[in-house]
Amino acid sequence: MPRARLRDLGLSTGFLPTGRWNAITDVPGVAVGYATVIRDEPAIIRSGVTAIWPRREGIWSDAVFAGVHSFNGNGEMTGLAWLAEQGILAAPIGITNTFSVGCVRDAISAFAIREGAPQMFHLPVAAETYDGWLSRSETFPITAEHVFAALDSAASGPLAEGNVGGGTGMICHEFKGGTGTASRIATSAGENFTVGALVQANYGAREMLRVDGVPVGREIGPSLVPSHRPPARDTGSIIVILATDAPLLPIQCQRLARRAATGLAWVGGFGANGSGDIFLAFSTANHVREGEPCTDVRMLAPDRMTPLFQAAAEATEEAILNALTGAETMTGRDGCIAHALPLDALASVMRRYRPV
């Protein structure tokens, strides 16, 4: 059975409608690019870089508002002090493996210089999850060129999922994990807003995995499909990037980011100790322009936020599931195999729990 998105399997979760591509790129202006590094020499590498542009055009001098929530901070996201202070994002975001997060961070600065960004001073956001069970990432395989390639290749429209970009070597609920995306349309204040999620999913115990409430992970136990068990089962992480075109202030982006914890919980993640579960939300609706002394901005009323919160939780949930249904079985270092979530078994379990 070929890999597919959750909805292509006739499955879905949540209440709200999706955007056109059911992807973070449904938020106008958002673009995503990947550099995927899969090679066996000189060391086995299963890694990469994911680049997310809040605006593909002009971000260096036309910033967006943003906010962060660290649900379990056993991970790295650079730029946190700046985001907490200013709530502003003026560069693309990079996601990669744990050992390369510094490289990606500096390379985004270098890219800004290359592009002639008007400001010399950058505090880029680069985040990571750990792929060391499949990849010899301690050899520091990611270079600035990979980062430039991911940034340069970014596009809107449908996105590849699973073993791509920073998500290449990830493991999730003891199945092969990776990159996933989804989106939701939320109606509030008489307008339709889009909330999109992109995740790099690398966390979780198999028996906790649920799909629309059905205990899929308990049913597809290790006797059915072998588990790739890391030394400490709770080691892993998930990075969630949320984008919206709803007009949110920085403090409201922080609120939106917190709802990734809800979507994560619905799939079965609870922030195990070793998990770096860090969530960033940005809103493209406002424009903070370099050199402008005072800016007119729009704010959705706080009491109109609820549909957006639901959308953020639902999009996160489905993005993780898309990473699982999209990722293919991968063999990595030391002969380790991370098995994909078997789609036929998934379908069969979902049928068994269908209400009578």
Indicate which residues carry an active-site annotation: 237, 275, 277
Tell me: does residue 100 bind its own copies (CB under 8 A): yes
Could you tell me which stretch among 36-44, 184-192, 195-203, 332-340 binds its own copies (CB under 8 A)?
A: 184-192
| Binder among 87, 162, 167, 204 for its own copies (CB under 8 A) | 87
Q: Which residues ranging from 191 to 220 are in contact with its own copies (CB under 8 A)?
A: 191, 207, 210, 212-215, 219
> Is residue 260 helix, strand or coil?
helix
Q: Which residues ranging from 11 to 30 are in contact with its own copies (CB under 8 A)?
A: 15
Q: What residue type is assigned to position 261 of the chain? A: A
Are the beta carbons of 94 and 127 closer than 8 angstroms?
A: yes
Residue number with CB closer to its own copies (159 or 264)? 264
CB of 286 vs its own copies, minimal distance in Å? 9
> Of 155, 183, 162, 161, which is closest to residue 22 (Cα–Cα)?
183
Tell me: does residue 345 bind its own copies (CB under 8 A): no
Tell me: does residue 39 bind its own copies (CB under 8 A): no
Tell me: does residue 309 bind its own copies (CB under 8 A): yes
CB of 173 vs its own copies, minimal distance in Å? 14
Exposure of 53 by Cβ count < 10 A (0-12 exposed, 13-18 middle, 19+ buried)? buried
Tell me: does residue 292 bind its own copies (CB under 8 A): yes
Q: How many residues bind its own copies (CB under 8 A)?
A: 100
Tell me: does residue 117 bind its own copies (CB under 8 A): no
| Binder among 19, 48, 54, 79 for its own copies (CB under 8 A) | 79
> Is residue 339 helix, strand or coil?
coil
Contacts of 52 (CB under 8 A, 6+ apart): 24, 30, 31, 32, 92, 93, 94, 95, 154, 198, 241, 243
Q: Which residues ranging from 238 to 257 are in contact with its own copies (CB under 8 A)?
A: 247, 249-251, 255
| Binder among 130, 175, 203, 282 for its own copies (CB under 8 A) | 130
Tell me: does residue 143 bind its own copies (CB under 8 A): no
Both tokens of residue 77? 């996201």
| Binder among 173, 176, 258, 333 for its own copies (CB under 8 A) | 258
> Of 95, 122, 120, which is closest to residue 106 (Cα–Cα)?
122
Q: Which residues ranging from 313 to 342 are in contact with its own copies (CB under 8 A)?
A: 313
8-state DSSP, 214: B
Contacts of 126 (CB under 8 A, 6+ apart): 76, 77, 78, 79, 93, 94, 95, 96, 101, 102, 104, 105, 108
